[in-house]
Structure 1
Amino acid sequence: MSELRLPELDPTSDRPVFKQIADHLRAAIDRKDLSPGERLPSESQLISHYDVARMTVRHALQILQSEGLTVAEHGKGVFVRSRPPVRRLASDRFARHHREEGKAAFIAEAEGAGVKPSVDSIEITESEPSPDVAAKLNLSGEDRVVVRARRYLLNGHPVETATSYIPASIAKESQIMEPNSGPGGIYARLEELGHRLDHFTEEIRARMPLRDESRALKLAPGVPVFHLVRTAYDQAGRPVEVCDTIMSSDAYVLSYELPAR
């Protein structure tokens, strides 16, 4: 506690003691007195500083963990959770020059952040689309889609799952059906197939993860996800892909540049 200076408890406050302790630690994290990856004072140190019971300290630490600010490592202690390493630039991530350089959007972003990207758990199937996907792709009742489901990792840690739905009439018998879709990813393949991309629409909402999502992304308690649904359109105005993405909120900053006209 000699390196980290925490306030004393306010005996006149009507705020519970464990919440005061959580407030002090949260403020230290916000001020960067405790940096990402740094260990918080131990339970014993906090008990000694505040002269409180062990359960009071544990309740305070549980608040920080539920807020996604800290992560507990068994036998090691409680650490400040690392902040988002990747800035997802909406105005640049699907720029054609990335595809021409042989880089899919995820790879380009990760390399820009200085972290190592990888992809695993790739599954490719053909199926009937859900009513929502069929509507977004303007498909009729008998049309089918190629489904590409995969998980993205940064420095070996899972941060995102994505499932793409492409009309089978476009993707079937192309490299889109292969686990390795080739340089530039599936968008480069779509353009090679004659569907030069024109624009994308995205719908994003934040929510708490489902159990399977928490397991797939190895999320700590209290960490929400971004649920993003993107539709890609070619120059003829045809929707050629719907991508349903679940992103760990502590892995990304979503950055947008919007015109003022």
Structure 2
Amino acid sequence: MIELGQVDRGADAAPFKQIARQLREAITDGRLEPGARMPTEQQLLEHYGVARMTVRQAMNQLRSEGLVVAEQGRGAFVRTAPPVRRLASERFARKHRDAGKAAFIAETEGLGKPSVDSLHVTEGHAPDRVRELLGLRSNAKVVSRDRRYLVDGTPVELATSYVPLSIARGTPITHEDPGPGGIYARIEEQGHRLVSFTEEVAARMPSPEEKRALRLPDGTPVLTVLRVAFAEDGPVEVTETVKASHSFVLEYSFPAV
């Protein structure tokens, strides 16, 4: 077992919190690496000399923080999910569309096998905020594309994209497979050359449905990203994403002027 401290029974922090802190530090400093088996309940009982319930409270604390996952019949392990690095200044580059790569394929390249499921394409009216962002009239319709993204079979992101029907009608944007380069390539083929994107990033706790879809442990927050794509003639697409926070690093670059 890794080297751990002891419980200070005169400290203000409860014993289970002290144990959780010591184990958390062992994870964050690398003594317990991703995928490593956590010390067993019996090992912790013998080391700390505390009640079984105290050890279980400590482990429950780490699970609620998303640091540890329990596997039936095998024990507890340090979470292994690798971050997916988003290069926001580069992932929408035209060179990726020209190479037939959609944005998610570009951002996960070299990090695992990307895939998509739970894909639904529908036609209807947009939510009020999306309609306003796209500058659409109240009766204008959009094509909505709902999907779940996975890396090596692990869900990492939920996304819904909205494209004005006036742009999407009669194109592969209305199909489950929009073709090489994704929907941005199809938008540009309709004469709307993309010139910029804006993204609004926030964090919150997931809804029960999002927690199930992303298979999130208790206590794991999500990142939300609202993206607007602009062409030379104005906004042409909005995407709302919900990302498993432990699977992403958001990286941006911008001029210092």
Unaligned runs of 5+ in 1: none
1:163-182 equivalences in 2 (<5 Å): 163-182=160-179
1:33-182 equivalences in 2 (<5 Å): 33-113=31-111, 115-182=112-179
d(CA) in 2 for partners of 1:8, 1:54: 16
Give the alignment partner of residue 186 of structure 1, picking from 176, 179, 183: 183
**How far 1:50 moved relative to its partner?**
0.5
d(CA) in 2 for partners of 1:85, 1:141: 40
1:201-240 equivalences in 2 (<5 Å): 201-236=198-233, 238-240=234-236
Give the alignment partner of residue 4 of structure 2, picking from 3, 6, 23: 6
Kindly indicate whether residue 237 of structure 2 is the aligned counterpart of residue 241 of structure 1.
Answer: yes
d(CA) in 2 for partners of 1:259, 1:112: 28
Structure 2 letter corresponding to 1:109: E
Kindly indicate whether residue 252 of structure 2 is the aligned counterpart of residue 256 of structure 1.
Answer: yes
d(CA) in 1 for partners of 2:152, 2:101: 18
Instruction: Tell me the matched-pair count.
Output: 257
d(CA) in 2 for partners of 1:259, 1:80: 38
**Deviation per residue, 1:106-155 (Å, 9 max, x gap):** 11121132x00001111011011111111000000110000111110000
Unaligned runs of 5+ in 2: none
d(CA) in 1 for partners of 2:171, 2:9: 70
Structure 2 letter corresponding to 1:141: S
Give the alignment partner of residue 14 of structure 2, picking from 13, 16, 23: 16
d(CA) in 2 for partners of 1:146, 1:35: 44
Name the % identity. Answer: 55
SS of 2:85's equivalent in the other structure is strand
Structure 2 letter corresponding to 1:253: V
**Deviation per residue, 1:68-127 (Å, 9 max, x gap):** 1111112111111125431111111101111111101111121132x0000111101101
d(CA) in 2 for partners of 1:17, 1:138: 57
Query: Quick check: 1:82–1:250 contact (8 Å CA) kept in 2?
Result: no
Structure 1 letter corresponding to 2:30: K
d(CA) in 2 for partners of 1:10, 1:193: 68
Give the alignment partner of residue 29 of structure 2, picking from 28, 31, 54: 31
d(CA) in 2 for partners of 1:221, 1:170: 41
TM-score where L is the length of structure 2? 0.98
d(CA) in 2 for partners of 1:149, 1:68: 26
Query: Quick check: 1:225–1:249 contact (8 Å CA) kept in 2?
Result: yes
What root-mean-square deviation, in Å, do the aligned CA atoms of Structure 1 and Structure 2 show? Answer: 1.0
Query: Quick check: 1:200–1:232 contact (8 Å CA) kept in 2?
Result: yes
d(CA) in 1 for partners of 2:12, 2:156: 40
SS of 1:33's equivalent in the other structure is coil
SS of 2:56's equivalent in the other structure is helix
d(CA) in 2 for partners of 1:140, 1:147: 17
State the 4+ residue runs in structure 1 displaced beyond 4 angstroms: none
**How far 1:218 moved relative to its partner?**
0.9
